[in-house]
């Protein structure tokens, strides 16, 4: 279907023009941005999904432990509206899978969802004494002027080789990268050479005040289920893998070293149906991602386990 996307090039030109005008309006002050007295860090990307935003937000939460922080997300895929603060009993259809994943992993951190980020920040500041706010997937949400912008780009699909929608996968022009304080190339091979790093830096052409960093996804040595934890070396030789994320390639490649499996591949943020659950329940042993496990939790599948992941930097760390 790639040829069809090229046929849509005239629409991509129109879309590019609209997003450029919107950014220009913010840059010139025609559209107003709200600035806050406390630090606001926005994590996002230029492309549509799959760059590792949630693991990066979790990395920042770990780095900032000891500070009073809040995470604010739109709550993609939820059926509710307006501002909601999360608790551990929320469902993904109420708050979204990624915010709930963060809340379950860091129960002492304030996590909230609100489609209007200005309203969300105002409510957070009204309800809590905070040192810092993390905005998840907010690179294009320019009604808030963040103090720091962290732009993520996938090593295998960097933004500088992409084009705007619908011909490519970019939400805005590559020039949007100039707003970033830090550009992080994510999902890199853990043994990434200095030569390849230099090639990416040269392709990105960072501004003098921008830093370019490189990170990889690190998987745990165990899977975790409702009743027990199992080391990867003790996995059954045959199992089922369930994914409903934007890019499952890295996850699948990692698990391929630990046995043979049938892959049930669903779309990103997939809402599991009763038929899906019946299919998953017939498998003896299921491994899924953290994000998918959160959506599967209400079904109490005792055969289902998730593989924890986290972001690790290659070379220089992200310093705040």
pLDDT tens, 93-151? 999 999 999 999 999 999 999 999 999 999 999 999 999 999 999 999 999 999 999 99
316: alpha, beta or left, given left = phi > 0 and alpha = psi -120 to 50? Answer: beta
pLDDT tens digits, one per residue of 301-314: 999 999 999 999 99
Q: How much of the chain, in percent, has pLDDT values that exceed 90?
A: 93
Where exactly are the structural domains of the chain? 2-67+131-218, 220-309
What is each CA distance from 28 to 19, 22, 24, 25, in whole angstroms?
Answer: 14, 10, 6, 5
CA gap 261, 287 in Å, rounded: 10
Is the model's pLDDT at 1 over the cut of 70? no
Q: Which fold has domain 2-67+131-218?
A: Rossmann fold (3.40.50)
| Residue 246 pLDDT class (50, 70, 90 cuts) | confident
Q: How much of the chain, in percent, has pLDDT values that exceed 70?
A: 99
pLDDT given for residue 113 in this prediction: 98
What's 159's DSSP letter? Answer: G
What's 65's DSSP letter? Answer: B
Average pLDDT score over the chain: 95
CA atoms within 13 A on the CB side of 129: 0
pLDDT given for residue 319 in this prediction: 81
pLDDT given for residue 2 in this prediction: 64
What is each CA distance from 176 to 20, 22, 41, 207, 225, in whole angstroms?
Answer: 9, 11, 17, 12, 41
pLDDT tens digits, one per residue of 39-77: 999 999 999 978 999 999 999 999 999 999 999 999 998
What's 282's DSSP letter? Answer: T
CA gap 200, 156 in Å, rounded: 11
């Amino acid at each position: 279907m790639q040829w069809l996307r090229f046929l849509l090039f005239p629409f991509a030109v129109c879309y590019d023009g609209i997003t450029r005008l919107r950014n220009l309006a913010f840059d010139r002050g025609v559209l107003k941005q709200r600035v806050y007295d406390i630090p606001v860090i926005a994590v996002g990307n230029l492309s549509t999904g799959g760059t590792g935003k949630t693991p990066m937000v979790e990395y920042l939460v770990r780095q900032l432990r000891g500070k009073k922080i809040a995470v604010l997300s739109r709550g993609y895929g939820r059926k509710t509206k307006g501002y909601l603060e999360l608790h551990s009993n929320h469902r993904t259809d109420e708050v979204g899978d990624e915010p709930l994943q963060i809340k379950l992993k860091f129960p002492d951190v304030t996590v909230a969802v609100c489609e209007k980020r200005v309203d969300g920040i105002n409510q957070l500041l009204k309800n809590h004494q905070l040192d810092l706010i993390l905005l998840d997937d907010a690179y294009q949400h320019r009604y808030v002027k963040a103090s720091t912008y962290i732009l993520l780009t996938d090593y295998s699909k960097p933004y500088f080789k992409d084009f705007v929608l619908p011909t490519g996968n970019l939400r805005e022009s590559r020039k949007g990268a100039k707003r970033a304080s830090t550009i992080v190339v994510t999902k890199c091979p853990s043994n990434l050479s200095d030569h390849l790093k230099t090639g990416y830096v040269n392709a990105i052409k960072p501004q003098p005040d921008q830093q370019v960093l490189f990170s990889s996804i690190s998987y745990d040595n165990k899977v975790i289920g409702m009743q027990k934890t199992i080391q990867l070396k003790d996995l059954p030789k045959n199992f089922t893998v369930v994914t409903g994320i934007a890019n499952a390639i890295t996850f699948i490649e990692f698990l391929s070293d630990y046995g043979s499996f049938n892959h049930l591949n669903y779309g990103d943020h997939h809402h599991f149906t009763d038929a899906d659950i019946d299919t998953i329940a017939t498998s003896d042993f299921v491994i899924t991602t953290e994000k998918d496990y959160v959506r599967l939790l209400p079904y109490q599948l005792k055969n289902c386990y998730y593989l924890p992941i986290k972001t690790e930097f290659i070379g220089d760390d992200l310093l705040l």
